Chains A and B, each alone.
Chain A
Amino acid sequence: MNAFQWITLPILVLLIVERTWTLLRGSGSRRVALFWGLIWAGAAVAIAWPDLTTSIAASVGISRGADLAMYFAILFGFVGFFMIYVRMRRLDANLTLLVRRIAIENPVHLDGQPSQPSRANASHE
Chain B
Amino acid sequence: MAQVQPNANVSSGGVPPSLPESVREEVFVIIPAYNEGEAVGAVIEEVRAIYPNVVVVDDGSKDHSADVSAKAGALVLRHAINRGQGAALQTGIDFAIEQGAKYIVTFDSDGQHRVEDIPALIDPILNGRWDISLGSRFLGGVENIKPSRKFLLRLGVLFTRIVSRVRITDTHNGLRGFSRKAAKRIHITLDRMAHASELIDQVRDCGLPYGEVPVHIRYTDYSKAKGQRSTGAFKIVFHYLFKRMTG
Q: A118-B52, A125-B180, A125-B181 are in contact. Are A110 and B71 (CB under 8 A)?
A: yes
- Beyond contacts A92-B191, A118-B52: 9 other A-B pairs, Cβ-Cβ < 8 A, are A96-B83, A99-B87, A99-B91, A103-B91, A107-B95, A108-B78, A110-B71, A117-B55, A124-B181
B75 touches A120 (CB 8 A): no
Measured CB to CB, the nearest residue on chain A to B239 is A89
Closest CB in chain A relative to B41 CB, distance in Å = 12
B83 touches A117 (CB 8 A): no
Answer yes or no: A102 CB below 8 A from chain B CBs.
yes
| CB pair B25 A118 closer than 8 Å | yes
C-beta contact mask, B51-75 vs A, less than 8 Å → 1, else 0?
0110101000000000100110001
Query: What is the CA–CA distance of A113 and B14 in the complex, to the nearest angstrom?
Result: 42
In this complex, the interface size class of chain B, counting residues with CB under 8 Å from chain A, is 35 or more
Mark B residues whose CB is within 8 Å of A. Answer: 25-26, 28, 52-53, 55, 57, 67, 70-71, 75-81, 83, 87, 90-91, 94-95, 98-102, 180-181, 184, 189, 191, 242, 246
Q: How far is the CA of A79 from the CA of B173 in the complex (A)?
A: 36
Q: Give the chain B neighbours of A120 by CB distance below 8 A.
A: 25-26, 28, 53, 99-102
Find the B residue at minimum CB distance from A93.
B189
Q: How many A-B residue pairs have CB under 8 A?
A: 84
Chain B residues closer than 8 Å to A106, beta-carbon distance: 77-78
Q: Which residues of B contact A89 (CB under 8 A)?
A: 242, 246
List B contacts of A31 (CB < 8 A). Answer: none
How many chain A residues touch B (CB < 8 A): the figure is 25
Contact yes or no, A115 B76, CB < 8 A: yes
B53 touches A99 (CB 8 A): no
Give the residue name and chain of the B residue nearest to A92 (CB).
B191
Q: Which of B71, B81, B102, B184 contacts A99 (CB 8 A)?
A: B81
The smallest beta-carbon distance between B51 and chain A, in angstroms, is 11
Q: What separation, in Å, do the CA atoms of A92 and B190 have in the docked complex?
A: 10
Bound-state Cα–Cα, A49 to B55, Å: 67
A residues touching B (Cβ–Cβ < 8 Å)? 86, 89, 92-93, 95-96, 99-100, 102-104, 106-110, 115, 117-122, 124-125
Measured in the bound complex, the distance between the Cα atoms of B58 and A2 in whole Å is 63
Q: How far is the CB of A118 from chain B (nearest CB, A)?
A: 6
User: In the complex, A95→B79 CA distance in Å?
Assistant: 11
Q: Is the CB of A108 within 8 A of B76?
A: yes
CB pair B80 A103 closer than 8 Å: yes
